[in-house]
Amino acid sequence: MTMVDRPRWSPLTKLVVVILALALFIYLLFRFGAVLPPLILAIILAYILSPAVNLVEKHIHLPRGLAILSAYIMLLGLIALLFALIIPPFIEQMGGLSGDIQNIIRSIENFLGHRYNVAGFVIDLDALMNNLSGSLQTAFSPFLGRTVSLAIEILSSVVWMIFIAVIAFYFIKDGEKISQWIAGIIPPMYRRDYTMLRNEISQIWGAFFRGQLILASVVTVLFTVFGFILGLPFPLAMAIFAGLMEFLPSLGHGIWLFFAALLAFFIGSTWLPIPNWIFMLIVIGLHLIYEQFDLNYLIPRIIGRSVRLPPVVVILGIVAGALLAGFLGIFLAAPTIASLRVIGRYVYANVFDLDPFPSSMSSPLPPPNPRWWEKLFSNSSRRI
């Protein structure tokens, strides 16, 4: 019997096989769900380190395995250098911040410990805060008293870190083979669609990870400089906090501003001779100006526009990601939604018999607003 005469599966058989395969995938997803977050972190680590590995392999002519080990060593050295330069003053500032937080809490308690008469209504803030405090203690009581299992959790974290490093090593080493294998199992008639979708989604995730790292570094430096100029309390700690908040698009700005406004109001500037409330207004005004600069200049030029989403979509995605996957879901909310937008556009076009890739997208998308870092990382997608 030739290949032409080979019996074809009926539509019902195909449907049953697809449903069974999907059911098996969902079962494995839930059965081995604990492995999924470390696996995702390994993919992220591989994606971030691939450009460095490519540069070492190309310019120093090392075997790929040694190039990966060199990238690991450089990463560990960079982390150790950052810890040596930043952690000591950071811990010192955090120690002072802890003492000032106690003063802020006492000031808030004094403010809330009174009754206020507003339009004939008596507001007892003290009773309100007591009820809120009781609710919070009830909510967080399951997390208390876990110091006994701390050593086990630390050991488990070390094991997972080793697992992530090993899996990331093989993802970087065999990334091109994995990519070719996936492309090979795609039916020939859909390979062009697969290539277009892969390139666009790869651009989104590449812009997010590497762009966010660069953006967080730039923001940390900017906030450190302006924090010292303005006399913002604990400028280094607040600058690092601002850099971390850049990983929460739309929501991070508001979180940082809330804590900065509290410090400005209750502590004031470390050297400007102005009332605290005026200093707080200055901090809020300058941050609102910076937010526009960040949204309209830094993010489009460092990350690009492919990941940009309406703020309400990002906030809802962060909430959904937190409920589904905890911190990892919060961190990956924006690129995941942007990728789903690309896939949704493709499905929509096919459902309504439209061209999923218009003439303007007939070739792989160029990076938006290319800069030196995008040229540096341009070959990374070929490896992972």
Residue 118 has pLDDT above 70, yes or no: no
pTM of the model as a whole? 0.64
Contact 371, 302 (CB under 8 A): yes
One-letter amino acid identity for 254?
G
Give the mean model confidence (pLDDT) for residues 204-215. 81
Which of 78-92, 184-198, 306-320 bottoms out in mean pLDDT, i.e. has the lowest? Answer: 78-92
**Token pair belonging to 287:** 């941050």
CA distance 74 to 313: 37
User: Residue 359's pLDDT band (boundaries 50, 70, 90)?
Assistant: low
What is the DSSP secondary structure assignment for residue 63, as one 8-state letter?
-
Is pLDDT larger for residue 47 or for residue 101?
47
pLDDT at 111 over 50: yes
Quick one: pLDDT at residue 285?
Answer: 92
Q: Is the pLDDT of residue 75 over 70?
A: yes
pLDDT at position 380: 42
Higher pLDDT among residues 98 and 60, named by residue: 60
pLDDT value for 182:
85
Report the chain's mean pLDDT, rounded to a whole number.
75
Q: CA–CA separation, 265 vs 276, rounded Å?
A: 5
What are the residues whose beta carbons fall under 8 Å from the beta carbon of 196, sequence distance 6 or more?
A: 356, 357, 361, 364
Comparing 55 with 136, which gets the higher pLDDT? 55
| pLDDT: which is higher, 304 or 162 | 162
Going by DSSP bridges, is the β-strand pair 121-124/115-118 parallel, antiparallel, or unpaired?
antiparallel
Least confident of 77-91, 218-232, 370-384: 370-384
* Most confident segment among 1-5, 104-108, 204-208, 375-379: 204-208
- What letter represents residue 294's amino acid? D
Say whether pLDDT at 368 is over 60: no
Specify the pLDDT at position 363: 44
Position 127 scores a pLDDT of 60
DSSP category for residue 382: G
The larger pLDDT score, comparing residue 384 to residue 161, is at 161
| pLDDT of 80 over the 60 cut | yes
Task: Please list, residue by residue across 307-316, b when 16 or more beta carbons sit within 10 angstroms of its beta carbon and e when fewer do.
Answer: bbbeeebbbe
Question: 3-class SS at 375?
Answer: helix
Residues forming beta bridges with residue 121, ordered by sequence position: 118
Helix 175-185 and helix 150-173, axial crossing angle in degrees, nearest 10:
70
The alpha carbon of residue 131 and the mean position of all alpha carbons in its chain are separated, in whole angstroms, by 35
357 Cβ contact list (under 8 Å, min separation 6): 193, 196
Neighbours of 255 (CB within 10 A): 14
